[in-house]
Amino acid sequence: MSHLFYQGRGRKPVLEQARGVYMWDREGNRYLDGSSGAMVCNIGHSNENVLTAMRRQMEKSTFGYRLHFETEASERLAAKLAGLMPAGLSKVFFVSGGSEAVESALKLARQHALATGQDSRWKVISRTPSYHGCTLGALAVTDYDPLSRPFAPMMREMPKIPAPRAYLDGLDPDDPETGRHYADMLAAKIEAEGPETVLAFIVEPVGGASTGALVPPAGYMERLREICDHYGILLIMDEVMTGAGRTGAFLGCAHWGARPDIVVMSKGLGAGYVPLGAMIADERLVEPVLDAGGFAHGFTYAGNPLACAAGLAVVEEIESQGLCANAARMGEKLKARLQALMQRHELIGDVRGKGLLLAFEFMADRTTKAPLPRALNAHDRFVRIAYERGLIVYSRRTRDGIEGDHILVCPPLIVNDTHLDEIMEGLDASLAQFTAEIRP
Ligand code: PLP
């Protein structure tokens, strides 16, 4: 009997070892990690330079409480991250994961409003569907029914606007009018809520698990910034999944030259070596909060030296191996191959994404864009079939009529052509089996 429990009862194979893009269970079965865990292991498993940096740090210290000590590791990682951010984002607050980073951003935004005499501002608008974490604050700005519904009475749900879904709405994603159309929904929502009550807007540059790698239409990001500036609200960029090179740039929002007020990162920053997240804020936000008595928020493990030493080594690997460029290059190839796969498998209705944050979506009918019936549980079934063939991919279904079943294909950024061949063989065979099972 196991004493562990997570979301369900199902038992999984026991992980024995992981190297590069591969993982082995205790029975000796090999898996290609085609989703980098949950889009986490950006530099691959067991990178020797990261392990060495961790060993070195462990010899020095593994903990220094943030109210007692700074550490060289946290100072160096903060400086490194500040150098990779858009201008002005130079203040770094470390945490241990994505939800904690999002909570921290919401609270900093609110405290900035209080420190600057804008007490009436507290609403944080987000999108539907979206996923920003599972703590109650992060969940309040999340729209993912299965995780949020049970807790509705315990939190103050925040206003939402639709995420751009040009492919379902029949709009041209390359036309800036499309971006303007969706972004203007934010302006309308702010007006409806009362501009003086709105604090911030939180958005993923490329929608991750919630929308299945949905890339925003032309003009969207630029227009969001204009709207935020117009109403004096803060733009929080959730780079938990897109950051650390995943989309082919260190930050996903860099593709559009976006200027967020706060960036939150996690997943690829610790890259599976350590629990690590960061909120990086514009100094203009932080200074008034510190002047007004300090940031009333913090976690015991914040700035843990072992986590920061590993995070620094991860970022150095991303830079020294040119992994952003590799993600862009291999992402183009993989996307083209997924598009080719769509020609052969009629259940694939859409292929999308940027860099190595890629997805395909199942549809019952490409013309009407009807999703597969929910009862088929297609995303889970497909993931299981691929898993049994030794290929790990990630999936989600949000809700009928809004999103169908999408499968995220997001291998570590170190993938080469041979790995892509293997991923494609696994997907092709799994799709054939999946189609035979649901359309015998
Ligand atoms: N934000 C985004 C965009 C995410 O994808 C996730 C996790 O999937 C989170 C926040 C929450 O991160 P964590 O699971 O590390 O708390």
379 against 231, higher pLDDT: 231
**pLDDT of 347 higher than 70:** yes
The pLDDT of 300-311, averaged and rounded, is 97
Ligand 1 nearest-atom number relative to CA 135: 16
DSSP code string of 355-398: TTEEEEEE-SBTTTTBPPPGGG-HHHHHHHHHHHTTEE-EEEE-
Residues with CB under 6 A from ligand 1: 38, 97-99, 102, 131-133, 204, 208-209, 238, 240-241, 266
138 C-alpha vs ligand 1 centroid, how far in Å? 9
SS3 203: strand
One-character DSSP codes across 43-101: T-BS-HHHHHHHHHHHHH-S---TTT---HHHHHHHHHHHHHSSTTEEEEEEESSHHHH
Answer whether residue 402 shows pLDDT above 80. no
Radius of gyration of the chain (CA): 21
pLDDT in tens, 241-259: 999 999 999 999 999 999 9
Domains and CATH numbers, the chain: 15-46+322-438 (3.90.1150.10), 49-320 (3.40.640.10)
Nearest CA residue ID for atom 2, ligand 1: 132
Lowest mean pLDDT among 116-130, 133-147, 376-390, 396-410: 396-410
Cβ–Cβ < 8 Å for 138, 95: no
Yes or no: say if 355 and 247 are a contact pair by the CB < 8 Å rule.
yes
Report how far residue 40's alpha carbon sits from residue 270's, in angstroms, rounded to the nearest whole number: 8
pLDDT band for position 398 (cuts 50, 70, 90): low
Ligand 1 centre distance from Cα of residue 109 (Å): 19
Q: Is the confidence metric ipTM above 0.90 for this complex?
A: yes
Q: Which atom of ligand 1 is nearest to the CA of 38?
A: 8
Alpha helices in 128-202 (DSSP H): 136-140, 145-148, 166-169, 176-193
Cα(129) to ligand 1 centroid in Å equals 14
Q: Which is the closest atom of ligand 1 to the Cα of 138? A: 10
- Measuring CA to CA, how many Å separate 359 from each of 79, 209, 347? 34, 9, 14
Joined together, the tokens standing for residue 405 give: 């079943």
Nearest to 306 by CA among 276, 261, 280, 282: 276
Question: Residue of the nearest CA to atom 7 in ligand 1?
Answer: 133
Q: What is the arithmetic mean of pLDDT over 137-146?
A: 91
At 375, the pLDDT band (50, 70, 90 cuts) reads: confident
Q: Is residue 8's pLDDT more than 90?
A: no
CA 340 to chain centre: 26
CB 242 within 8 A of CB 279: no
Instruction: Place 117 in a pLDDT band, splitting at 50, 70 and 90.
Output: very high
Q: Which protein residue has the closest C-alpha to ligand 1 atom 13?
A: 98
Q: Residue 27 pLDDT > 80, yes or no?
A: yes
**For range 17-42, the mean pLDDT:** 98
Please give the distance, rounded to the nearest whole angstrom, from the Cα atom of residue 340 to the centre of ligand 1.
31
Task: Name the pLDDT band for 285 (thresholds 50, 70, 90).
Answer: very high
Mean pLDDT of 410-424: 98
pLDDT at 1 over 80: no
Looking at the DSSP bridge assignments, the partners of residue 18 are 23
Q: Answer whether 94's CB lies under 8 Å from 312's CB.
A: no
Mean pLDDT, residues 397-419: 84
Per-residue pLDDT, 403: 63
pLDDT in tens, 193-220: 999 999 999 999 999 988 899 999 999 9
Q: What is the mean pLDDT of residues 74-87?
A: 97
So what's the pLDDT on residue 440?
Answer: 72
Q: Percent of the chain at pLDDT above 70? A: 99
**pLDDT over 70 (residue 401):** no
Per-residue model confidence as pLDDT tens digits over 264-277: 999 999 999 999 99
Q: What is the mean pLDDT of the chain?
A: 95
